[in-house]
């Protein structure tokens, strides 16, 4: 009886050890799978931000460096990358506890890819002229809502749900992945989008007011130096020179969000900059300052081109633009 009792006790001890050993292994495997999932989602968030959202909005903030066709092609490349990231998300190994969180991950990435598709379809029209430009700008501003929605899903669903499961399973030492695609809420406003794109305007689609529309370029100055189109203008090369552009509303109607572009070419890669005049009044002049943002080339002849963007209904545009030969000196 004693031997049988001892043998039974030994069996119980072995079963006890096996039970807790297996449970410990299962718990360790569960924690490991949760850590791996968190790492995978963090990689998706980082790649979405750095490979898609950040360069995309940098491109939209200065599209004048290349042609509208090239801008469209670049946006389509970002869209393809966003599609690949959504496919990666679908192929991710998802622990059962993370099913709800992962559903929102996929939705957020899909929203970004879909927004890029729609914006690519509109961007050439937006960078053009006429009523089609205004309508395209309005559409692009509306498409930006998808980026905002994806950010809300990530901050209010993805990150909290992942953290909840990590905490409930005692998984420590993890940083919950965050992702933000929309840089600021200004991208939701058609007027702001038009200004950043250098487009002729936003929020102005529809019938054009009767009467003449348009502007004329009056003068361009750098500090005390007023540029002359017929001769080489010698300009001290400041670290970041500021150009003052004067224009006149030569139509019969007030105009809003008038874009003024400046380009320096002839010495390597062109330097571009722009600014926006919020509103002009018929017959009156307005001034806008355009900061170059970088030091211009010194000692090399260049051409400074300044252009006032056309507004809806403008028919005469030959007086909107002027070129100035120039030489920046030390």
| Per-residue pLDDT, 18 | 57
Q: Hey, how many other C-beta atoms are within 10 angstroms of the C-beta on 34?
A: 21
H/E element holding 290? strand 285-291
Task: Give the strands of the sheet with 285-291, arranged side by side.
Answer: 225-226, 215-222, 242-249, 285-291
Evaluate if residue 203 carries a pLDDT over 50: no
Burial class (CB in 10 A: 0-12, 13-18, 19+), 96: exposed
Indicate whether 151 pLDDT > 90.
Answer: yes
Q: Does position 274 have pLDDT exceeding 60, yes or no? A: yes
Pairing mode, strands 233-236 and 321-329: parallel
Tens of pLDDT, residue by residue over 77-135, are 999 999 999 999 999 999 989 999 999 999 999 999 999 999 999 999 998 877 788 88
pLDDT of residue 136: 92
Mean pLDDT of the chain: 87
User: In whole angstroms, what is the distance from residue 313 CA to residue 73 CA?
Assistant: 29
Q: For 284-315, write each residue's pLDDT tens digit.
A: 999 999 988 788 889 999 999 999 988 888 88
Could you report the per-residue pLDDT of 317-327, keeping only the tens digit for each?
A: 889 999 999 99
Average pLDDT over residues 150-171: 93
Q: Which two tokens mark 4?
A: 């049988």
**Alpha carbons 120 and 112: distance in angstroms, whole number:** 12
Q: Compute the Cα dihedral for 312, 284, 63, 107 and give only its sign.
A: negative
For residue range 54-86, list pLDDT tens digits in order.
999 999 987 766 788 999 999 999 999 999 999
pTM of the predicted protein model: 0.60
What six digits make up the tokens of 159? 């990150």
Backbone angles phi, psi at 299, to 5 degrees: 80, 5
Q: Are 265 and 243 in contact (CB under 8 A)?
A: no
Q: Which two tokens stand for residue 125?
A: 């029209």
């Amino acid at each position: 009886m004693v031997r049988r009792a001892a043998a039974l006790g030994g069996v119980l001890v072995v079963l006890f050890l096996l039970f807790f050993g297996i449970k410990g292994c299962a718990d360790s495997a569960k924690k490991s799978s949760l850590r791996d999932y968190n790492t995978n989602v963090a990689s998706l968030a980082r790649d979405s931000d750095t490979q898609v959202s950040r360069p995309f909005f940098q491109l939209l903030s200065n599209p004048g460096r290349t042609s509208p066709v090239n801008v469209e092609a670049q946006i389509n490349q970002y869209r393809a990358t966003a599609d690949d990231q959504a496919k990666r998300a679908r192929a991710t190994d998802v622990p059962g506890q993370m099913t709800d969180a992962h559903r929102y991950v996929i939705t957020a990435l899909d929203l970004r890819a879909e927004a890029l598709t729609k914006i690519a379809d509109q961007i050439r029209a937006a960078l053009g002229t006429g009523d089609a430009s205004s309508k395209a700008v309005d559409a692009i501003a509306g498409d930006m809502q998808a980026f905002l929605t994806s950010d809300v899903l990530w901050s209010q669903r993805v990150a909290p749900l992942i953290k909840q499961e990590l905490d409930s399973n005692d998984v420590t030492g993890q940083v919950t992945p965050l992702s933000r695609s929309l840089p600021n809420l200004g991208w939701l406003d058609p007027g702001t989008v038009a200004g950043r794109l250098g487009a002729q305007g936003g929020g102005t689609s529809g019938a054009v007011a009767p009467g003449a529309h348009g502007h004329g370029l009056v003068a361009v100055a750098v500090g005390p130096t007023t540029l002359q189109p017929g001769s080489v203008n010698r300009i001290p090369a400041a670290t970041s020179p500021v150009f003052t552009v004067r224009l006149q509303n030569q139509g019969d109607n007030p105009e809003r969000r008038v874009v003024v572009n400046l380009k320096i070419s002839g010495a390597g890669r062109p330097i571009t900059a722009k600014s926006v005049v919020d509103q002009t009044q018929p017959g009156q002049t307005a001034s806008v300052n355009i900061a170059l943002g970088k030091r211009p080339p010194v000692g090399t002849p260049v051409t400074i081109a300044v252009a006032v963007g056309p507004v809806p209904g403008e028919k005469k545009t030959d007086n909107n633009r002027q070129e100035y030969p120039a030489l920046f000196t030390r």
